């Protein structure tokens, strides 16, 4: 029980450090948010959106914007550590490696979540689609799936040259199942059809699988 408390306090301490750092610089939030909005606007030009095809195209547009913006933010998971070269100090702390991962994951989830909360109304406005409450659940689950894998691999890629280049190449193939299920679930929400697999259930299953693999393997990624 006390172990659990210590673990949680470690997670919160690292998370709070990242949040304060981000609140001071505001680089990641602003960058990701503007990027997501720009993607939404660019899609307006690339697709000829009419009333009859908006339900087929809009979920894809939303998720392309979210995934690309998430990758932009995920690439900065260790930005603070890299810029201040404080990674060694973080690793020297008597902190469970899983706590570092969980804190970084929650931080990413929070940063991406804020961007999504801003981008969702804009999306509804630009594409003239309704915004049901269940969409928030799908967005949360989808973001969790992207962030679990993304956090693990952004820490991996941080050690390489050309990390901005490598991160999308590593992350995109792995998040394919999450991408398929979120887009299908979003489409289901707009145009319900029968005999569809339970996409939200699958999404939860994928999130659990990805979270457990990442938790188990994270220590090998940052071990020195």
Question: Does 193 sit near other proteins (CB under 8 A)?
Answer: no
- Segment interacting with other proteins, rule: CB under 8 A, options 11-19, 65-73, 78-86, 148-156: 148-156
Question: Does 223 sit near other proteins (CB under 8 A)?
Answer: yes
Question: Does 159 sit near other proteins (CB under 8 A)?
Answer: yes
- Of 133, 161, 191, 194, the one binding other proteins by CB under 8 A: 161
- Of 162, 192, 193, 194, the one binding other proteins by CB under 8 A: 162
Cα 122–chain centre separation: 19
- Of 90, 91, 110, 180, the one binding other proteins by CB under 8 A: 180
- DSSP letters, 67-126, are HHHHHHHHTTTTHHHHHTT-HHHHHHSS--HHHHHHHHHHHHHHHHHHHHHHHHHHHHHH
**Residues at the site binding other proteins, with contacts judged by CB under 8 A:** 149, 152-153, 156-157, 159-162, 166, 169-170, 172-174, 176-177, 180-181, 184, 197, 202, 206, 209, 213-214, 217, 220-221, 223
């Amino acid at each position: 029980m006390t172990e659990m408390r210590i673990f949680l306090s470690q997670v919160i301490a690292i998370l709070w450090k990242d949040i304060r750092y981000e609140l001071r610089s505001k680089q990641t939030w602003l960058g990701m948010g503007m990027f997501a909005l720009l993607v939404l606007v660019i899609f307006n030009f690339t697709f000829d959106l009419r009333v009859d095809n908006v339900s087929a195209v809009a979920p894809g547009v939303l998720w392309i914007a979210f995934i690309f913006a998430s990758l932009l933010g995920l690439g900065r998971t260790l930005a603070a550590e890299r810029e201040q070269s404080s990674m060694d100090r973080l690793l020297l702390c008597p902190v469970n490696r899983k706590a570092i991962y969980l804190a970084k994951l929650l931080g990413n989830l929070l940063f991406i979540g804020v961007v999504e909360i801003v981008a969702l109304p804009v999306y509804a406005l630009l594409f003239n689609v309704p915004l049901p409450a269940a969409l928030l659940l799908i967005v949360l689950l989808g973001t969790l799936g992207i962030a679990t894998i993304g956090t693990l691999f952004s820490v991996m890629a941080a050690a390489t040259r050309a990390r901005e280049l490598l991160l999308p190449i590593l992350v995109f193939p792995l998040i394919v199942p999450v991408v398929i299920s979120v887009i299908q679930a979003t489409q289901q929400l707009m145009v319900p059809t029968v005999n569809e697999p339970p996409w939200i259930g699958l999404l939860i299953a994928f999130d659990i699988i990805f979270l457990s693999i990442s938790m188990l393997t994270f220590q090998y990624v940052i071990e020195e």
